Amino acid sequence: MDYELGNILLDGRTISRKVAEIASEVAACYSGKEFVAVGILKGAIFFLADLVRSLPSDSLVKIDFMAVSSYGASTKSSGIVKIVKDLDTDIRGREVLLVEDILDTGLTLSYLQELLKGRSPRSLRTCVLLDKPDRRRVDAHVDFRGFSIPDEFVVGYGLDYSGYWRNLPDIHVAKAIENTVKNTQPKE
């Protein structure tokens, strides 16, 4: 099954406004406190970058990354989480904000939350840009939430299909198409 770029679900301006709104909430929560923003690669890279750039200049934020795999080449999570790149920062006794692009089944996010809690941070809060509540299989607590979206496969603003379309400024629905010839590049 291949995919083609479909309609825009969330345009770049709408996303920017929501990110600024979330940044205000995050800034109020961490006012006067140093915290570590942990972005989950690769999908959260644009969201994390825009989020921390929207914080006030006096915010005391450090950035680190984790890379996990639960999708492989599929469009649905396997439920098996593999740590591909771990944190470089010791989070013991620190304020931590986990930043993820999308909350889908909850399996990956709940796994990461438990993993990071086991490292004894002072606090662990979670921020997601997109939430697909209809796909939830496991509860995962979220402190800062952007948009609730329908159960559609989405790409753009960091989200991808086989590595493509992350660079799009808008979030699009990706539509499945029948393809009799195997092609690794998406149709546009």
pLDDT digits (tens, 9 = 90+) for 108-124: 999 999 999 999 999 99
Q: Residue 118: helix, strand or coil by DSSP? A: coil
Secondary element (H or E) of residue 15: helix 12-29
Average pLDDT over residues 160-164: 92
Residue 179 lies in a domain: no
Burial (Cβ within 10 Å: 0-12, 13-18, ≥19) of residue 29: middle
Residue 87 lies in a domain: yes
* pTM of this prediction exceeds 0.85: yes
Residue 159 lies in a domain: no
* Mean pLDDT across the chain: 91
CA–CA separation, 167 vs 58, rounded Å?
29
Range of the domain at 48: 12-150
For residue 70, the model assigns a pLDDT of 72
- Give the single-character DSSP code of 135: G
- In whole angstroms, how far apart are CA 116 and each of 46, 57, 133? 22, 27, 23
Residue 18 lies in a domain: yes
Buried b (16+ CB within 10 A) or exposed e, 81-117: beeeeebeeebeebbbbbbbbbbbbbbbbbbbbebbe
Residues contacting residue 164 through CB under 8 Å, at least 6 positions apart: 155, 185, 186
CATH number at residue 77: 3.40.50.2020
pLDDT digits (tens, 9 = 90+) for 54-88: 999 999 999 999 999 875 555 555 567 889 999 99
**Comparing C-alpha atoms, which of 54, 9, 5, 3 is closest to residue 170?**
9
Residue 156 lies in a domain: no
Residue 49 lies in a domain: yes
Looking at the structure of the chain, the number of domains it has is: 1
CA–CA separation, 149 vs 102, rounded Å?
10
Residue 28 lies in a domain: yes
CA–CA separation, 109 vs 87, rounded Å?
16
Residue positions annotated with a catalytic role: 104
Residue 71 lies in a domain: yes
pLDDT digits (tens, 9 = 90+) for 22-43: 999 999 999 999 999 999 999 9
